Structure 1
Amino acid sequence: MLHLRMISPPELTDKVLAVLAANPGATHVTLARGVALEPAGDLIQADVAREAGNEVLAELTDLGICKTGGITLGPVETVLSEAADRAVEAAPGDPSDAVVWEELVAQTHEESTLNSTFLAFLTIACLLAAVGVATDSPVTIVGAMVVGPEFGPLAAFAVGLVRRDFRLARRSAIALAIGFPVAMLVTLVATLLWEQFGWITLSGVENIKNVDFIYQVGPFSLVVALLAGAAGMLSLVTAKSAALVGVFISVTTVPAAGFAVVAATLGEWNVAFMSAGQLAVNLAGIVTAGVIVLALRPRAGREAGPLDRFMRWIGMRSLVDR
């Protein structure tokens, strides 16, 4: 379930309560009049089934409460209540399938912002990838995959395309378009320095056997990217963080960027171009899979997704509506 905490101007309070009362997925409604100081107003709280979240939030937004008051939304991990059970049963759909768009947009918006933290993590990941290539170390390459923060902007870009939120899509594209070149430039400087010390040599890179998969682009490169993107988006909408870690160590975005830099400094342009191709394939595959997953996710309330319509068509109404 979701917990809603709202500050409502007194003139809108009755309308907000009416919205909550009319939706069978809302329960545990409480009201404290006049307790909010900034902005001034009444405090209303409620628990809402995830399946009903989009509909409730849309109606509250239509009232203008976001402009004159405010809404705070958060997940509820454990609820011991028969009233909550009835609300979940009454709401159409299944809780694990519900995509609460406002929650997803807020999460991906934060992770898609170009800032010093994003650049630092991406740069460290590329440096780790370069070290992994130089030492032929799969463990270091996996470390670079885990550290890399690039899935956040990729997921946000997919959400922006599906929701037609082009500001979010543009913000994500800027983070990727600036982040990768900056990280690769720093890695380039570090790689040239390591080559001067003799830590990275052409013969060493030519003889790698354990991490050569990074630049070997093939049909499974796209397959893995699509599967990883689908799993990553599912993990975001269902809050499965363990699955998201699996996504990080299954795609070769950051390792490909690091390998391209190392190969270019050594004059191995063929390998550098293949690594860049691997990077492009993985980025495109992740975004494509994310868009497909969001487009096919079951909707609830006033939204009817293609998967909902298909299940109704074949008579599996119980999987969509209870």
Structure 2
Amino acid sequence: MLNLRLVVPAPRAEAVVATLVDDPRVTDVVHLPGAALRPLGDVVSCDVTREAASDVLGWLRREGLFDEGSVVISDLSAAPSVNAREVERAATGAPDDAIIWDAVVDNAYGEVRGSYSFYAFLTLAVTIAAVAVVTDSSILVVGAMVVGPEFAVVAALAVGLVARRPGLLTRAARLLAQSFAVAIGLTLLLALLARALGWVHLEDVTGPRPLTGFVWRPDLWSAVVAVLAGCAGVLSQTGGRTNALVGVFISVTTVPAAGDFALSLAVGAFDQLPGAAAQLGINLAGMVAAGVVTLLVQRGLWRLVTQRRRRRADGVGAQQVEGSTSGSRRPVP
């Protein structure tokens, strides 16, 4: 379930509260008149099932509360009450299948701000990957993959395409390009320093690398893994299962390819540059494409569920009206 904290202009608060109370998929409705100071208004809090969140948020948007008031969405880790279970049963569909687009889009905008920490983590990840190439260490490759923060921006790029947000799309693409350029450039400088100190030689990169040679040798499976990882990553984000993202980070070879590219450039292993660049491009393109398709499929399936729910609601509408006097509740229009 999700918690909604609303700031509602006082003249409209009673109507909003009444509508939320009448929705069988909403519970724990709390009304605090005059409690909000910025923006001014009443505070209304409620818990809503994930399946109904898009309906409720869409209604609040149509009522103008996104502009005239305030809407905050929070995840609930648990709601172990009989009332909460009854509310969940009143909602059609499975919670993990519901996409709360307002939350997805808002989170995507938050991921493309381009903080210093994002650049720092990506640079550290690419540098660790370069060390992994020198030492031919698969453990360091995995470590570099986990440290890399780039998937959230890749997912934001997919959201921008599906949601038709050109501003989000542009910012995500620019951040990906700039951050990888900075990370590769700084790693290149460190690799040149290591070469000048005698720590790295051409043979370290061009010699046999049974554990890390795949980094600059993309093949069919590179594309397959990128697509699968993109699907899994987007599903984990839209379904609220971000713990699955660790597996996605370990699956894709974006950061290791960038590290190999910087190191190969530093030591003069120019024949490996096309392969490393191709590996990086294949992974990024595969994840974006898979993310777009996954979001489109999710949206289409959820529309079918919503349409079926509405048809069923229309079929029993008369019964709900008759039972309204005995305490039955009607959902948000």
Normalising by structure 2, we get a TM-score of 0.88
How far 1:26 moved relative to its partner? 1.3
How far 1:212 moved relative to its partner? 0.3
The answer to whether the 8 A contact 1:93-1:299 is kept is no
The answer to whether the 8 A contact 1:299-1:308 is kept is no
How far 1:166 moved relative to its partner? 1.7
- 1:292 is matched by which residue type in structure 2? V
Match of 1:314 in 2: none
Question: Is structure 2 residue 292 aligned with structure 1 residue 266?
Answer: no
How far 1:157 moved relative to its partner? 0.6
Q: Structure 2: 5+ residue runs without aligned partners?
A: 309-333
Question: Is structure 2 residue 71 aligned with structure 1 residue 71?
Answer: yes
The answer to whether the 8 A contact 2:192-2:267 is kept is no
How far 1:17 moved relative to its partner? 2.1
Change (3 A) 1:309 1:91: closer
The answer to whether the 8 A contact 2:205-2:269 is kept is no
How far 1:141 moved relative to its partner? 1.3
Instruction: Measure, in 2, the Cα distance between the counterparts of 1:89 and 1:38.
Output: 36
- 1:284 is matched by which residue type in structure 2? A
Alignment of 1:182-197 (within 5 A): 182-197=182-197
The answer to whether the 8 A contact 1:19-1:56 is kept is no
How far 1:86 moved relative to its partner? 2.2
The answer to whether the 8 A contact 1:39-1:69 is kept is yes
The answer to whether the 8 A contact 1:113-1:153 is kept is no
- Identity across the alignment (%): 41
- 1:174 is matched by which residue type in structure 2? R
How far 1:22 moved relative to its partner? 4.6
Change (3 A) 1:46 1:171: same
Return structure 1 stretches of 4+ with deviation > 4 angstroms. Answer: 307-310
Alignment of 1:110-149 (within 5 A): 110-149=110-149
The answer to whether the 8 A contact 1:97-1:298 is kept is no
Match of 1:246 in 2: 247
Alignment of 1:1-322 (within 5 A): 1-207=1-207, 208-297=209-298, 304-305=303-304
Change (3 A) 1:187 1:294: same
Q: How many residues align?
A: 307
* Structure with larger Rg: 2
Q: Structure 1: 5+ residue runs without aligned partners?
A: 311-322
The answer to whether the 8 A contact 2:96-2:240 is kept is no
- SS of equivalent to 2:44: strand
- The superposition leaves residues 207-235 of structure 1 with CA deviations (integer Å, 9 ceiling, x where unpaired) of 22210010111110100000111111111
Normalising by structure 1, we get a TM-score of 0.90
